Structure 1
């Protein structure tokens, strides 16, 4: 998830809905599992995670970092995801580069250590973004060989950092639909990552991308950013949202069997705005708060999937923005912190 994702669609949705009222990868439904030990999917364990993204070089060194990690742990979460991000200027470029919005390596190492000290396991999920409102799924480099060469250097840099800091799981990419159909090049990327990092690997496919990924069997887990629209109108009816999940759940169970991999929701989340479940991928849907809808969506997802042996868990998007960095007011943002959705997590995950 990037701040600019589906900005155009979000603007349309804002107009339409502004006044709305209403361990490891391989697994089977019979519970058998195989592959290397460790990670959230070992046996039948399920990730209970929350993402703490960064938007600045110094975010992870913020004085708020320790408090955020303690608060995440207090929900009952046992995992946290960090998202260092590099950028490319245009969709067709072949070069990736750091900016002042890229988390510094020193701060990233420090936040991993702090997470471990707080009793949290870590998934490192490096992102590539475009500037402004452009969607990373639109990246289509004019020279694929050059782009993948640059990408391989970018991702193995973080694979080294993950290995050095004891990160428990690693994502080789996120929502790169414009290039994710390239089996041969991604296989080479994954091989390079495995040469640098020994832990479980996934790729975070968008919910409308995952069926087109040809390289799941090269990875340990199927990763899906689970932003399926669940309703045509705003609702805080948990039973209605659970019913909306039923056909999706059946499709995912069949897909997990077919690919012989468990499915991890590498992201899932809902803004606390009315209409959130109509477009969970959108940062801006309504100017009206929707705490009840956000909480119902959290409850429906967990009640729909928890305990399914092919499901490896969820990493919610996202915890608080850093002080002075939030573009969306906290009361309308994805964070569940201080809202009924946080209480849902505490109840479902046994937090305190």
Structure 2
């Protein structure tokens, strides 16, 4: 099995709509945002939305409640993307309401009576993911991402395998999991998914080293690989710490462009990389005339945008 036979063409992607706040998707502004995104040679989009659990030790994920987008908004997003000719990866994500990063969600390695457990948490998480899988199947999503950067949960192999089996019972498309940066060689159940994916927030000067490391994982698993997240804020200092959205620094289109140049150069030189799903494009897009003052990840209106479009157009044209 080769990567090309799975994805068919490079994943020239962009994450859209994060964090999926209720009321922000099915609007004229959201439709225009997605249309403009598609004009940048984007062929895939990850529709990413978050459901909340109260603390990292909670076992109930309230995916039907506010502030998470409604099912109708999810369907709207999928159909809007498909109407623009985009392939869709539906990406349900769990966040923690108290601000703790989801990577720290965790429990005892074994179940203990009277204590919150992985078994309880995965029961709730499975309901969340299966609900997304049913929508993805009904709407013809080309891919489903069953988790994102769940570092402490990554070691729960038996639970993940059971979840994937349950998902395959209701969803026939491609299944992927988005591990965190530096975790590609710590996930032991890559054989259970169709596409290996990770968050490629690597310092600008370490791409070659990290890709050497990841390549050994991809070769051993014999699976397609994409970066389900990658990118850099348009901010001074961010190319060295692209995962840190809180880093202090002045807005800098040049910094973001330099990062994009190195990221695309490194990734396009590796035939086993099937594409990028860049981070990120908001549902409520800022005014293009204010782009120079925006120091976040979205490249819209910045120097990185035409460069990305050119790279994606060339990558798609190479039919890799």
> How high is the TM-score relative to the length of structure 2?
0.89
Q: 1:136 aligns with which of 86, 89, 102?
A: 102
Q: Offset at 1:132? A: 4.0
Tell me the distance in 1 between the aligned counterparts of 2:141 and 2:293: 29
Tell me the distance in 2 between the aligned counterparts of 1:323 and 1:245: 30
Is the 8 Å Cα contact of residues 235 and 252 (structure 2) preserved in structure 1? yes
**What residue is the counterpart of 2:263 in the other structure?**
301
Q: 1:162 aligns with which of 131, 136, 144?
A: 136
**What residue is the counterpart of 1:229 in the other structure?**
203
Q: 1:277 aligns with which of 239, 244, 265?
A: 239
Segments of 5+ residues of structure 1 without an aligned counterpart are: 1-25, 28-32, 231-240
Tell me the distance in 1 between the aligned counterparts of 2:75 and 2:140: 10
Q: Offset at 1:310? A: 1.3
Is the 8 Å Cα contact of residues 320 and 330 (structure 1) preserved in structure 2? no
Tell me the distance in 1 between the aligned counterparts of 2:98 and 2:265: 36
Tell me the secondary structure at the aligned position of residue 312 of structure 1: strand
Q: Offset at 1:307? A: 5.2
> Does 1:254 pair with 2:216?
yes
Tell me the distance in 1 between the aligned counterparts of 2:225 and 2:85: 24
Q: 1:80 aligns with which of 33, 37, 45?
A: 45
Is the 8 Å Cα contact of residues 94 and 150 (structure 1) preserved in structure 2? yes
Is the 8 Å Cα contact of residues 252 and 292 (structure 2) preserved in structure 1? no
**What residue is the counterpart of 1:183 in the other structure?**
157
Tell me the distance in 1 between the aligned counterparts of 2:297 and 2:285: 15
After the TM superposition, which residues 2-151 of structure 1 pair with which residues of structure 2 at under 5 Å, given as runs? 26-27=1-2, 38=6, 41-42=7-8, 45-52=9-16, 53-98=18-63, 99-141=65-107, 142-151=116-125
Tell me the distance in 1 between the aligned counterparts of 2:293 and 2:280: 11
Q: After the TM superposition, which segments of 4 or more aligned residues of structure 1 sit over 4 Å from their partners?
A: none
Tell me the secondary structure at the aligned position of residue 94 of structure 2: strand
Deviations 1:178-220 (A, max 9, x none): 1111111110000001111001111000012222111100001
Tell me the secondary structure at the aligned position of residue 276 of structure 2: strand
Over the aligned positions, Cα root-mean-square deviation in angstroms equals 2.0
Tell me the secondary structure at the aligned position of residue 28 of structure 2: coil
Is the 8 Å Cα contact of residues 276 and 290 (structure 1) preserved in structure 2? no
Residues paired across the two proteins, number? 300
Tell me the secondary structure at the aligned position of residue 159 of structure 2: helix
Distance 1:342 1:144, change over 3 A: same
Q: Offset at 1:330? A: 6.2
Deviations 1:3-46 (A, max 9, x none): xxxxxxxxxxxxxxxxxxxxxxx43xxxxx58xx65xx33xx32
Q: Please, which moves more after superposition, 219-228 or 278-287?
A: 278-287
Tell me the distance in 2 between the aligned counterparts of 1:154 and 1:96: 7
> Does 1:341 pair with 2:315?
no
Tell me the distance in 1 between the aligned counterparts of 2:211 and 2:201: 13
Tell me the distance in 2 between the aligned counterparts of 1:59 and 1:312: 31
After the TM superposition, which residues 189-268 of structure 1 pair with which residues of structure 2 at under 5 Å, given as runs? 189-230=163-204, 241=205, 244-268=206-230
Q: Offset at 1:224? A: 0.4
Tell me the secondary structure at the aligned position of residue 119 of structure 1: coil
> How high is the TM-score relative to the length of structure 1?
0.81
Distance 1:330 1:221, change over 3 A: farther
Q: Offset at 1:323? A: 5.9
Deviations 1:57-86 (A, max 9, x none): 112112212211211111101011111211
Tell me the secondary structure at the aligned position of residue 94 of structure 1: coil
